[in-house]
Copies of this chain bind each other. A is one copy, B any other.
Amino acid sequence: MARGLPSLHPSETLVATYKDIDMPQSPETNRRIVLNSRPHGAPSPDNFRLDTTELPKPTDGQMLLRTVYLSLDPYMRGRMSDAPSYAAPVELGEVMVGGTVCQVEQSFHPEFAVGDWVLANTGWQDYAVSDGQGVIPLGRNLEHPARSLGVLGMPGFTAYMGLLDIGQPKPRETVVVAAATGAVGSAVGQIAKLKGCRVVGVAGGPKKCKAAVETFGFDACIDHYASDFDQQLADACSSGIDVYFESVGGKVFDAVLPLLNVKARIPVCGLIAHYNDTALPEGPDRLPLLMQTFLIRRIKAQGFIIFDDYGPRYGEFLAEMTEWVKSGKVKSIEDVVEGLENAPNAFIGLLEGKNFGKLAVHVG
């Protein structure tokens, strides 16, 4: 292990132990956070393990990428499990997957030069070798690197396509957005406002609700911790709900369901409230009720996985969103955690709604 850190048994909670230790990126070794064990329910720090390997070496046609920012996103919970999903799970002992903003450290690749910024998928580690496949150039100067993981990256793209292509919002319609101050939700709400909709957010706690209204311009934002949450949501949606942008499920969806209008659309990009479920909830079985609601109110619900479904339209998104961000029409909040070693606890907090804005780790 680098820098004289003691070698601990993998089952010990290394991350918690290391969190206050100064262990910055080194030009000689590669720190990696690997999947140590699969969680049952909510992940805990001992599901992760920090290890250190030699620096990988690029060969002809390859380059060495150094991670500057690592994105933390709810979908990563799915990759920690081996239950069937849309993507293969991370194997035990393998590096956790994740989107990253990197700089090119060494290059034997004709299209990338040392010092270039890139958007990549190199995971929870300091360095990775890449042949350029799936790597998006971000230029030589990048003023706000973390934004490329948020409003200008995967979450912004998810918001843009899910809302516009599946949600099809029309002026004066009511759009309800779960996780309103999150990376996806805050973008959804602001785009919906640009399209002339009435936008009602749902978030956890008064601080987030205030930011949804004051920073992001939502018309209202309801605190899902409120004891009369259902009633407050109904009051805020007096004309019903035309588009519900789903990323959480659970009690938020339960409150939304009776408010959905005829011809409502539900883009489904996540169900964070259920990611730690270990069993189905108790009955009655509402599956038939849901399908009947879809039928009677002619509702469309559609799941999507952004790059799989819309990959070729990334440029279209980036061009328009960059304009909106530059002109101040779309704002973003980044919640940046310092140090790769703090990624696991930050990720665990993300699943509990502890982040405030787009969660990213400043790796080095």
Q: Contact residues of A with B, CB < 8 Å?
A: 78, 84-86, 246, 249-250, 253, 262-263, 268-271, 274, 277, 279-292, 294-305, 308-309
Contacts and interface: CB of A to CB of B under 8 A. Distances in A.
Contacts of A290: 287, 290-291
B280 A284 contact: yes
A304 B264 CA distance: 11
Nearest to A308: B298
Contact of A303 (B85, B250, B296): B296
Contact of A282 (B277, B285, B309): B285
Contact of A300 (B253, B298, B302, B305): B302
A285 B288 contact: no
Contact of A294 (B84, B288, B297, B303): B303
A268 B249 contact: no
B295 A288 contact: no
Q: Which of A84, A296, A303 has the most CB of B within 10 A?
A: A303
Nearest to A295: B303
Given A86-B296, A296-B303, 6 more contacts: A269-B295, A271-B295, A281-B283, A281-B288, A282-B284, A298-B303
A301 B300 CA distance: 6
29 contacts: A86-B262, A86-B297, A249-B288, A253-B291, A268-B291, A271-B288, A277-B288, A280-B286, A280-B288, A280-B289, A281-B283, A281-B285, A282-B283, A282-B285, A283-B283, A285-B287, A286-B287, A287-B287, A287-B290, A291-B303, A297-B303, A298-B304, A298-B305, A299-B302, A300-B301, A300-B303, A301-B301, A301-B302, A302-B302
Contact of A285 (B284, B291, B296): B284
A289 B84 CA distance: 13
A293 to B, nearest CB: 8
A296 B297 CA distance: 24
